[in-house]
Every structure is written in structure tokens, then in C-alpha cells.
């Protein structure tokens, strides 16, 4: 079989590119749709995880970044900028490097994980820690791109949404149709916007330069978005000035794609609800210890949401559910090294002889 060619080449006829577009790719997309055995057993539904940590920089952002950096190159840009809680900056830095562009990233000071910070630094981005939160960073990045010759690669850039909609295409291509429910975390609300766009496009005939493509899916799923309770502006109905959650990736008080997220919710007969940090950490542990899938805390918000809805009796047996788990566990491994009560996990020390090891394993009295 031919190697996966990245989302732009795989879905070129459904993306704003032409034969002459210079494509910047690191081979993103083509991520596994993993059967969630324990979640399926618990809920009596068929639950799958779209494991986006398998992208080149370890998060779903790469799907949008291949498009955004390709568009930046096409526009003749020399420099790109983004605001980020960490994953966008890691992705922008990597794709800018692949394109030979310089990259500046604005991140909230002290609130992004070491893994993500190290990626931006390793790829040579100019990293500026702003004395403010993500929303402040995005405001500055937007103004910078308006006033100076730098290209904005946040998800307010429509190219990002175009690239990220390929997540839905892959789900339908793998399952043969759309699921009943698609659950995911919501931060700046670009991803729920993109998935909904992708599902809608796949459920109707699609006009291309070369003619009409038939519908691929017979239906669209209900979009179920989950925000962290301390950073849930869409649920509250107003911006949150001081968003706070351990899920730093979605610590956002004023999402840029707010209206599009509400449209996705309402048009799909879905929901946008909040899950607490405790529920997020429970789901994070569930994924690691029961499904074998290691994610960063924010990425578990969709799973936390499904567990919450199940316990509220709001799932129907037999439904098919896809949950996007958005980023890799190694991005932010500290949470795995804490017990549920917050104390540090202490590996047991053993002497280097077989009997001691066997004893520690309960194989020897």
C-alpha cells in the first residue's frame, strides 16, 4: 500500500488547493480510530477514540497547520504568528520550519506544559511568554498580524478549519458512515467548528473544480462539545475573565469561534456542556488504565463528557459514538505521576536479584 500522504493530498479535491499549490506537510492525519473496549462495555454503545496524539507534533492541530502554513507560503509570507496554550505553537513551529518561515508564538506565562514549550523551542520559534491568559495572547497576535507583515495561523484563519475538517472525513471513511454522536473537548472552538463542517460536507453532494462528488455519509452526528467547568464561557453564556482548569490546553475564556460552536451544537441537535477537573482527571486515568490510550488532560474532556452523560442516563444502548482525544499524553506527563489524591506516585525500589523482584511481584512469599 502507498504511504499516507498527509491530509491535503489525501483530500485535495475537498480543500482549497490546486495542482500548482506548494504543499507543506509532515504527513499529518491518517490517525487511528481505536475501539474503546471498556467504554463500549460500560455504556452498551459502540465507542471509538480518534487518537489525534498520533499526528506529527502530537496533536490535532497539525491537520489545520498544514493548510495554514501552505496558505502562508502561497501568500508570500516570511513569518507567522500564533497565540497558544501550547499545541498550536508546537505545530506552527514545526510546520514553519518545514516551510522555511520564521515563527513567533505568544503563550500565557507559566500555564503551558513543558512538553509543548520544548517543541516550540526545539523548532526554533521565537517564544514570548505573555503576562496574561490565552485570550490576551490571541488579541495581541491578531493586532500584530493586522499591523505588521506576519501571517496569523490561529484557527480564526479559515485555512485552519479547512484542514481540521478532514478529521470527520477520516471517521466516516473508517466507519462507512457518520456516528450517532461525536464528542470532543472545546477550547477556542475551532475544532468543533471544523468537525461539523466536515460532517456536513460529507453528508451532501460536494462541488469541485472537476465536477460533483456524491455524498459519502447518510447522516450527520450530534456534536457534543465539553468545556472545563472553570473555563466554560459557552455554557455560561458570557466570557470568563479568569478561566481556570488543570486542562491548560482549554483554559480559554472567550473562544474565537464561539458563534460557530453554537451553530454546530444547534444545527446538529447536540450539546455543549461542562465537565469538572475531577471528571477530566478521572477520564484521563480511565483512558490510560482501561483503554491503553495515553492523552493529555484536556484531551480527556470528551471522554469525561460521555461518562457524565452515561451516568445521567442520556445515552441510548447501541448508539455509535466517536470521541476525539486531541493530544498525546507525553505532552503533559506530570498528571500520570500523581495519585488521585494529588500525592506523587513513588516507584517501588527493589534490589537487583531475582528473588527480590519476584517478591515485589507477589510471585514469592
Instruction: Report the interface residues with ligand F0G, using CB under 6 A.
Output: 59, 61, 84-88, 155, 185-191, 249-250, 296, 298-299, 326-327
Is 87 annotated among the ligand-binding residues?
yes
Nearest CA to 68 out of 26, 96, 87 is that of 96
Is 326 annotated among the ligand-binding residues?
yes
Nearer to ligand F0G, 291 or 332 (CB): 332
Is 157 annotated among the ligand-binding residues?
no
Nearer to ligand F0G, 217 or 298 (CB): 298
DSSP state of 256: T
Give one DSSP letter per residue of 169-203, joined into a string: HHHHHHHSS--SEEEEE-SSSHHHHHHHHHHHHHT
Nearer to ligand F0G, 97 or 299 (CB): 299
Nearer to ligand F0G, 57 or 216 (CB): 57
Nearer to ligand F0G, 188 or 220 (CB): 188
Query: CB 189 → ligand F0G: shortest distance, Å?
Result: 5
Nearest CA to 48 out of 329, 325, 323, 328 is that of 323
Nearer to ligand F0G, 70 or 254 (CB): 254
Is 188 annotated among the ligand-binding residues?
yes
Query: CB 37 → ligand F0G: shortest distance, Å?
Result: 23
> In the block, which residue shows the cell 495515553?
294
Compute the distance between CA of residue 337 and CA of residue 329 in angstroms, rounded to an integer. Answer: 12
Query: CB 188 → ligand F0G: shortest distance, Å?
Result: 3
Query: CB 334 → ligand F0G: shortest distance, Å?
Result: 15
Dihedrals phi, psi of 206, to nearest 5 degrees = -125, 125
Query: CB 126 → ligand F0G: shortest distance, Å?
Result: 16
Query: CB 217 → ligand F0G: shortest distance, Å?
Result: 22
How many residues are given for the chain?
365
Cα dihedral sign, 186-190-196-202: negative
Is 189 annotated among the ligand-binding residues?
yes
Is 220 annotated among the ligand-binding residues?
no
Distances (CA, A) of 296 to 90, 277, 327, 329: 14, 13, 6, 4
Is 94 annotated among the ligand-binding residues?
no
Cβ proximity of 59 and 85 under 8 Å: no
Dihedrals phi, psi of 318, to nearest 5 degrees = 95, -10
- Residues annotated within the binding site for pyridoxal 5'-phosphate are 87, 187-191, 326
Amino acid at each position: 500500500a502507498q504511504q499516507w500522504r498527509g491530509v491535503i493530498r489525501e483530500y485535495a479535491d475537498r480543500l482549497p488547493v490546486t495542482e500548482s499549490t506548494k504543499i507543506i506537510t509532515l504527513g499529518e492525519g491518517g490517525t487511528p480510530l481505536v475501539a474503546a473496549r471498556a467504554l463500549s462495555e460500560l455504556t452498551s454503545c459502540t465507542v471509538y477514540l480518534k487518537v489525534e496524539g498520533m499526528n506529527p507534533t502530537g496533536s490535532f492541530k497539525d491537520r489545520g497547520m498544514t493548510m495554514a502554513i501552505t496558505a502562508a507560503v502561497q501568500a508570500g509570507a516570511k513569518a507567522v504568528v500564533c497565540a497558544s496554550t501550547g499545541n498550536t505553537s508546537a505545530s506552527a513551529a514545526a510546520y514553519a520550519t518545514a516551510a522555511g518561515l520564521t515563527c513567533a508564538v505568544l503563550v500565557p506565562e507559566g500555564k503551558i506544559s513543558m512538553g509543548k514549550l520544548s517543541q516550540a523551542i526545539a523548532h526554533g520559534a521565537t517564544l514570548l511568554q505573555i503576562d496574561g491568559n490565552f485570550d490576551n495572547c490571541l488579541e495581541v497576535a491578531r493586532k500584530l498580524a493586522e499591523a505588521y507583515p506576519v501571517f496569523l495561523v490561529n484557527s480564526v484563519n479559515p485555512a485552519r478549519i479547512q484542514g481540521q475538517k478532514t478529521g470527520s472525513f477520516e471517521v466516516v471513511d473508517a466507519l462507512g458512515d457518520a456516528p450517532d454522536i461525536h464528542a470532543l473537548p472545546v477550547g477556542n472552538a475551532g475544532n468543533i467548528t471544523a468537525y461539523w463542517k466536515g460532517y456536513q460536507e460529507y453528508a451532501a453532494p460536494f462541488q469541485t473544480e472537476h465536477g460533483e462528488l456524491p455524498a459519502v455519509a447518510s447522516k450527520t452526528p450530534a456534536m457534543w462539545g465539553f468545556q472545563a467547568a472553570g473555563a466554560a464561557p459557552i455554557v455560561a453564556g458570557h466570557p470568563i475573565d479568569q478561566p481556570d482548569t488543570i486542562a491548560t490546553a482549554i483554559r480559554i475564556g472567550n473562544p474565537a469561534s464561539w458563534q460557530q460552536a453554537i451553530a454546530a451544537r444547534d444545527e446538529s441537535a447536540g450539546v455543549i456542556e461542562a465537565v469538572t477537573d475531577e471528571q477530566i482527571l478521572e477520564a484521563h486515568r480511565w483512558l490510560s488504565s482501561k483503554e491503553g490510550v495515553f492523552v493529555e488532560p484536556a484531551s480527556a474532556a470528551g471522554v469525561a463528557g460521555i461518562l457524565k452523560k452515561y451516568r445521567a442516563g442520556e445515552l441510548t444502548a447501541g448508539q455509535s459514538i466517536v470521541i476525539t482525544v486531541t493530544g498525546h499524553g507525553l505532552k503533559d506527563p506530570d498528571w500520570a505521576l500523581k495519585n488521585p489524591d494529588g500525592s506523587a506516585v513513588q516507584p517501588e525500589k527493589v534490589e537487583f536479584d531475582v528473588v527480590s523482584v519476584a517478591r515485589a511481584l507477589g510471585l514469592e512469599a
